Structure 1
């Protein structure tokens, strides 16, 4: 039976990313503040926040697909970038080129790859900020 309607998997992909990251004991140990879509107002420990996304159609003659870019933000209270980079490296290790890591109902993850990770200085000298962006290609399953 041919597909007739495209379904956007963005919410399911983002939920799968959060679930995957929260399930990793090593990453959880590095992030006492946790992994959040929207962090609590008064967070004190290092944490990861799901950022913005961009979703575009990536259809073929026979399938519906999406290309999704999603950004993750790592926030650490540390001097220098090492701690944040260690966290970013663990996130990349968990997701980069590991489509099976994300279970998305109704969609197959074709590929997930890290486009970049960047260390930034925050105006507040107590915090360090690392940005990680992933590109995810999906195909809708029947």
Structure 2
């Protein structure tokens, strides 16, 4: 049997070798489209993992994850901070702020199911909106934290 870089068996199921932070993000992606609609436009809630030139705005990209050991000493746990980016070309910051508010309403303090872990709750940490240096694109950044414990 060949083992993977992390020491797990190569023939393990994909969910057993997927890093825990990726499972949390996957659960967020499943949760958000059903829960959030932007009333002023067609649904914007298609999430991407990277920006692509020419993509119609507004849209959301899944950004960076920071994973640190959790506070529990008697159980394997992690704290995961996930960043979502909102991209808009609307004049002013209002569209990005509305979308970030809808994301917060859809995800803050909501339960998520993550395979192999106790039920997870996402907690809103903070958000900010600003204009990119080109003066045309508005950029919103919103962060959530999940604390997970292995079953």
Q: Kindly report which structure 2 residues correspond to 1:25-64, keeping only aligned pairs within 5 A, or say none.
A: 25-27=36-38, 29-31=42-44, 34-58=46-70, 60-64=72-76
Is residue 2:14 matched to residue 1:17?
no
Tell me the SS of whatever aligns to 1:120: strand
Q: Which structure's CA Rg is the greater one?
A: 2
The runs of 5 or more residues in structure 2 that have no matched partner are 1-16
Q: Kindly report which structure 2 residues correspond to 1:36-115, keeping only aligned pairs within 5 A, or say none.
A: 36-58=48-70, 60-98=72-110, 100=111, 102-115=112-125
Q: Higher relative contact order by CA 8 Å / sep ≥ 6: 1 or 2?
A: 1
Which residue of structure 2 aligns with residue 123 of structure 1?
Answer: 133
What is the aligned-residue RMSD (CA, Å)?
A: 2.3
Superposition TM-score, scaled by structure 2 size? 0.78
The 8 Å contact of residues 113 and 120 in structure 2, kept in 1 or not, is answered as no
Superposition TM-score, scaled by structure 1 size? 0.82
The runs of 5 or more residues in structure 1 that have no matched partner are 1-6
